[in-house]
Amino acid sequence: MSKEVKFSLVFRDMWQSAGKYVPRVDQLIKVAPAIIKMGCFDRVETNGGGFEQVNLLFGENPNNAVRQWTKPFNEAGIQTHMLDRALNGLRMSPVPADVRKLFYKVKKKQGTDITRTFCGLNDTRNIIPSIGYAHDGGMISQCSLCITSSPIHTVEYYTKIAKELIDAGCDEICLKDMAGIGRPDFLGKLTANIKAIKDITIQYHSHAGPGFNMASILEVCKAGCDYVDVGMEPLSWGTGHADVIAVQSMLKDAGFKVKEINMEAYMEVRTLIQEMMNDFLGYYIPSRNRLMNSLLIGPGLPGGMMGSLMTDLETNLETINKWKEKNGKPTLTQDQLLIKLFDEVKYVWPMMGYPCLVTPFSQYVKNMALMNVMQMEKGKERWSMIADDIWDMLLGKSGKLPGTLAPELVAIAKEQGREFHDEDPQSNYPDALDTFREEMKKEGWDLGQDDEELFELAMHPQQYRAYKSGKAKAEFEADLAEKKAKKNTSGGEMSFPQTVTVDVNGEKYKVTIGANDSSAASNAPAAASAAPGEGNELASPLEGKFYLVKNSNEAAVKVGDTVKKGQVVCYVEAMKTFNAIASEWDGVVTEICLTSGSSVSEDDIIMKIK
């Protein structure tokens, strides 16, 4: 009897690999019955990773979205699965153990069956606790091997990790080929090795971008793979996933048992996806992400990150070219910047210890490479600005690097008095739920069904606060209005500034938008800072979001505080990492020029110190 291969529709990742946002809950509910009617899916990826953060970013409650989105699949007997970043949970930075434990209980109650846990360092100390947390919450524990191609990431390396995870009690193994650069022969041998350890369920996840993945799918299935992740038009191929039609046809021809596709339902889902793109999601999907590109083989950047990378690059290019124009230098094109970035990723990756290029470490390596490029384009030195989260990875605070850190980075760490770590990474992040409970009590916020609102605040503090205040939705509506106005105005340009009015839960917000200025919206006047002060002007070294603190347990610098040269006084969040900004002088803070959460451009004055 021929072996059966089952399909999982990675609906969340289809969107994340294409652009910045995911559909609203009303759109998800509308498309779910048509996906079920297609008849070919045994699993659907419904949430996890960036899904819940971006819900908050455009002002939607992710807990409500997950409950309503998983419900029709639960009723149809289709398993739902989600992405879990191990030590980092659903975010870019490490999560306390008590928040991780609550995470699994909440998601099971919301209708998620399977948690796909991965660590970009493949450090089993970060993954194994999730097996127990998942089982305690009633979920299936699927543990991932993050696949990449380097001198140290061998078949033997991955086989050893798989055995550790199987011995620790995981229910399934995922080959997470997040950049699609796993070589077909390599993946076939690895699949066979894992099946030789134990006849455990194996699911293969890959992205189409570099061009290997159809061959890889065939090889892993021949070696015993049980489930294959697939996408569908108009969000398949490119930085996304192989289309289910092509995969089904290939495997059927090779003699595998596969389910038939209801093509009428396929076309219905395809049409609904296009409607979502036409509504607002298409404004956040760069056209390049619809293309396959073998240049991705070199840097090995993951498909899920490429969705936002091209959008980010537009801002980075503008920042670099503003500086170049001001200093009489030739400007760059986006292609030139992209090639410089890809080359720099290839250069810095081995120096940074070969972390697998998957969230958050792909962002750390890419951000480091991009920061180097930006600094060097302005005549500064490589490694002149390294974000705290990147340092945590380099120093071992997030887990053990697969490779060896370059001597020059070790030297910089010692020069700055930074300590290396070899303890269990979780021990660096103490329990925090009681602190967040107190905050919710103080704010008068409901903990939510099954403590799900408490979980959301604890997992995404900054985004949740912006969601609750209405600021997130107001800023999203303003940004979308700007994008639509640019597209609809002849020549693709509009005059600035423009003021738009947006409605958030019945409250009206006036938001002023400008070509290179983004004003925060709020339902009250911005908090008044001290009267404009005297002294040295501390400028932002990059574009992003301004925050006085990055964690709720930090004390914010205030006007009147005495600070020392080199002391961290605030942060700029850019490219999903918090970049510490230090005072350049000894002195007293005489003015804080921005409110926390405000957008800031490079060279904007953020603080005055006398």
Strand partners, 204: 175, 228
Q: What is the model's pLDDT at position 291?
A: 76
Residue 254 falls inside a structural domain? no
Q: How many CB atoms lie within 10 A of CB 45?
A: 24
Residue 189 falls inside a structural domain? no
pTM for this predicted structure: 0.81
354 and 414: one domain?
Answer: yes
Strand partners, 9: 44, 230
* Residue 252 burial (10 A CB sphere; 0-12, 13-18, 19+): middle
pLDDT band, very low/low/confident/very high, at 289 (cuts 50, 70, 90): confident
300 and 373: one domain?
Answer: yes
Cβ atoms of 217 and 250 closer than 8 Å: yes
The beta strand positions in 85-210, using DSSP E, are: 114-117, 140-146, 172-177, 201-206
Strand partners, 230: 9
Cβ atoms of 403 and 350 closer than 8 Å: yes
477 and 364: one domain?
Answer: no
**Residues 222-252: tens digit of each pLDDT:** 999 999 999 999 999 988 999 999 999 999 9
- Asked whether residue 552 carries a pLDDT value surpassing 80, the answer given is no
Nearest alpha-carbon partner for 585 in 609, 606, 568 = 609
Strand partners, 362: none
Residue 328 neighbours by CB under 8 Å, 6+ apart: none
Q: What is the model's pLDDT at position 595?
A: 83
* Residue 512 burial (10 A CB sphere; 0-12, 13-18, 19+): middle
**Residues 498-518: tens digit of each pLDDT:** 444 545 445 544 444 443 333
Measure the N-to-C terminal CA separation of the chain; round to a whole number of Å. Answer: 80
Q: What is the model's pLDDT at position 306?
A: 62
Q: Residue 544, by phi and psi: left (phi above 0), alpha (psi -120 to 50) or beta?
A: left
Q: What's the mean per-residue pLDDT of the chain?
A: 87
Structure-token pair, residue 49: 């990773």
CA 449 vs CA 453, 455, 489, 557: distances in Å: 7, 10, 45, 36
Phi, psi (deg, nearest 5) at residue 560: 100, -15
Query: Could you say which DSSP state residue 591 is in?
Result: E
336 and 412: one domain?
Answer: yes
Q: Concatenated DSSP letters for 306-372?
A: HHHHHHHHHHHHHHHHHHHHHTT-----HHHHHHHHHHHHHHHHHHBT---SSTTHHHHHHHHHHHH
Strand partners, 142: 116, 172
500 and 557: one domain?
Answer: no
Q: What is the model's pLDDT at position 522?
A: 37
Residue found by looking up tokens 């887990």 in the block: 399
pLDDT band, very low/low/confident/very high, at 21 (cuts 50, 70, 90): confident
Distance CA 132, CA 474 (A): 40
Whole-number percent of the chain with pLDDT over 90: 58
Cβ atoms of 344 and 373 closer than 8 Å: yes
Range of the domain at 480: 471-522
547 and 508: one domain?
Answer: no
Count of structural domains, the chain = 3
Strand partners, 8: 43, 229
373 and 410: one domain?
Answer: yes
Q: Which of these three, 458, 492, 522, is where a domain ends?
A: 522
Strand partners, 229: 8
pLDDT band, very low/low/confident/very high, at 221 (cuts 50, 70, 90): very high
399 and 516: one domain?
Answer: no
- Asked whether residue 466 carries a pLDDT value surpassing 80, the answer given is yes
Cβ atoms of 564 and 575 closer than 8 Å: no
Q: How many CB atoms lie within 10 A of CB 484?
A: 14
Residue 201 falls inside a structural domain? no
Q: What is the model's pLDDT at position 305?
A: 61
298 and 407: one domain?
Answer: yes
Q: What is the model's pLDDT at position 492?
A: 45
Torsion sign (Cα): 381, 385, 389, 395: positive
Q: What is the model's pLDDT at position 20?
A: 81
Q: What is the model's pLDDT at position 506?
A: 52
**Residues 308-357: tens digit of each pLDDT:** 566 667 777 887 888 888 888 888 888 888 888 888 988 999 999 999 88
Query: Between residues 610 and 159, which one has the greater pLDDT?
Result: 159
> Where residue 555 sits, what CATH number does that domain have?
2.40.50.100
Helix 433-443 × helix 97-109 angle, to 10°:
70
Q: What is the model's pLDDT at position 336?
A: 87
Q: Which of these three, 522, 555, 587, is where a domain ends?
A: 522
* Residue 183 burial (10 A CB sphere; 0-12, 13-18, 19+): middle
Residue 372 falls inside a structural domain? yes
Structure-token pair, residue 25: 């809950």
Q: What is the model's pLDDT at position 507?
A: 53
CA 323 vs CA 347, 374, 381, 528, 603: distances in Å: 25, 10, 16, 31, 10
Residue 498 falls inside a structural domain? yes
- Asked whether residue 418 carries a pLDDT value surpassing 60, the answer given is yes
Distance CA 458, CA 99 (A): 7
Q: Which of these three, 371, 394, 427, is where a domain ends?
A: 427
Sheet holding 536-539, edge to edge: 536-539, 605-609, 587-592, 562-563
Query: Could you say which DSSP state residue 497 is in?
Result: -
pLDDT band, very low/low/confident/very high, at 186 (cuts 50, 70, 90): very high
Cis, peptide link before residue 234, omega less than 30° from 0: yes
**Residues 201-214: tens digit of each pLDDT:** 999 999 998 899 99
392 and 510: one domain?
Answer: no
Residue 380 falls inside a structural domain? yes
Q: What is the model's pLDDT at position 287?
A: 80
Q: What is the model's pLDDT at position 532?
A: 52
- Asked whether residue 48 carries a pLDDT value surpassing 60, the answer given is yes
Residue 68 falls inside a structural domain? no
**Residues 81-106: tens digit of each pLDDT:** 999 999 999 988 899 999 999 999 99
Distance CA 186, CA 378 (A): 42
Query: Between residues 439 and 487, which one has the greater pLDDT?
Result: 439
Across 194-233, b (16+ Cβ under 10 Å) vs e yields bbeeeebbbbbbbbbbbebbbebbbbbbbbbbbbbbbbbb
| Coil, strand or helix at 228 | strand
388 and 510: one domain?
Answer: no
**Residues 119-176: tens digit of each pLDDT:** 989 999 999 999 999 999 999 999 999 999 999 999 999 999 999 999 999 999 999 9
The two counts, helices (H) then strands (E), for the chain are 20, 19
Cβ atoms of 284 and 308 closer than 8 Å: no
Residue 308 falls inside a structural domain? yes
299 and 422: one domain?
Answer: yes
49-53, 261-265, 276-280, 477-481: range with lowest mean pLDDT? 49-53
Angle at 486 between CA 305 and CA 463, to 5 degrees: 45
Cβ atoms of 578 and 462 closer than 8 Å: no
Cβ atoms of 214 and 247 closer than 8 Å: yes
